[in-house]
Amino acid sequence: MTMAAKLIDRKFHNVPGRLRVAELLFDVPVNYNKPSDGNLKLFARSVRRLETPVEPAKGEKQLPWLVYLQGGPGMGCRPPQEYGWVGTALDKGYQVLFLDQRGTGMSSTITAGTLALQGNAVKQAEYLKQFRADNIVRDCEAVRRCLTTDYPEDQRKWSIIGQSFGGFCAVTYLSLFPEGLTEAFICGGLPPLVDGPDPVYQRTYEKVIERNDAYYNKFPEDVDRVKRLVQYLKDNHVTVSSGVLTPERVQQLGIMFGMHGGLDAVHDLVLRASNDLDIFGFLTHPTVTAFDSYGGFDSNIIYAILHEAIYCQGQSSNWSADRLRSADAQFNIDDEQTRILFTGEMIFKDMFESYDELKQVKETAEILASTAEWPKLYDGAQLAKNEVPVYAATYVEDMYVHFDLASKTAAKIKGAKQFVTNVMYHNAIRSKSDELMQQLFALRDDTID
């Protein structure tokens, strides 16, 4: 049994006319198996409808909780008012908890500087092993026990909604602590039940090539523009605030191809660059800044350093995406290519050279990539006898969580219901939140004939 988290601070404020928000800070162990090894501070925001007059904190109703598990790994939550689906959840009678997962947002943030406090690269790697989904859900259980202490015993379970990597965490939750859950909503986040990342990236690269085809079919003029931009970056050392703008970093813009509006966002950057080169012969500051803003790995280094480890159960990742890219000549950047292919949601060794923050943790990343001692994240036997209602939105065109792998996982979770669509992409919870939430709650309320 996971011990309850310690609530060490709580402050309230209102979003005028809409929301009552509490900012919460908890103490939890870094390592639940060795609680004396130190603590982490977890930050969260809870949100409920703003009532007039506002009820005092002690008189607040004991509403059921819905916990949002953010995508990533490594991404913190935004303020509650920026999530379009929150109103729907509040209308359904929930209060919502936005928890910054350990190491993200304001929860004992992981950066090169904060990691250095742990000591050398070996000690940093050992520390980071505590930041996967297994401990994220232990944190959730600890916080649940804290926040529901005064609830009637039969009302202490809570609901979860996981987006992308948050869905991976949700399935880990179903595996390890199903007794804490009332229900689980999963959005584009049914994880591949694999032991290592190679089978994942083999399918992901297939989908990335499809999205490259879609991009160049929509913007055929960008074939030459991208090649010209890549050649310019080969010939010129272009610095940005986070490091160096390399040809490979241009390729990495393909991560946007899996989002609603992603093709147009990349085209806009390519067009800006082409316009600069046509008029001035170099990239202007606004253009360079725009390219830099699409990285984000320096501000979310867990994403880079643990991205492949989220698939590992008893295997090392051994730089899976990098190996598979090198083995596929289509992704080469050379003069013989008819077009430059963009990559997707992958992490490559060269990122630990072109990003200043990642360069500082390169040795730590190498250690983690060679580590095979990753514990199990999923319990197939428990999932096969699952009794927690599961409602999953699965996207046929998902570039990050392959539809075939997600469907196999759904079939292994007893009782899981799926909303399957080919008209939504991975970020539908943000881009089409009303439609998506309507479909998920229709699954829950059994209103689909």
Q: Which residues are catalytic?
A: 164, 398, 426
Show the beta-strand stretches assigned E in 144-216: 158-163, 181-187
What is the rounded CA–CA span in Å between residue 191 and residue 169?
A: 9
Query: Which positions ≥6 away from 308 have C-beta within 8 Å?
Result: 197, 317, 319, 320, 321, 347, 369
Residue showing tokens 């602590």: 177
Q: Alpha-carbon distance 436 to 237, whole Å?
A: 44
| Cα distances (Å, whole numbers) of residue 151 to 47, 90, 307 | 18, 19, 37
Sign of the four-CA dihedral 173, 177, 180, 181: positive
Mode of pairing for the β-strands spanning 6-15 and 19-29: antiparallel
Query: In this structure, are residues 316 and 231 in contact, taking their beta carbons and an 8 Å threshold?
Result: no
Q: How far apart are CA 190 and CA 145, in angstroms?
A: 26
SS3 for 329-391, per residue?
HHHCCCCCCCCCCCCCCCCCCCHHHHEHHHHCCHHHHHHHHHCCCCCCCCCHHHHHCCCCCEE
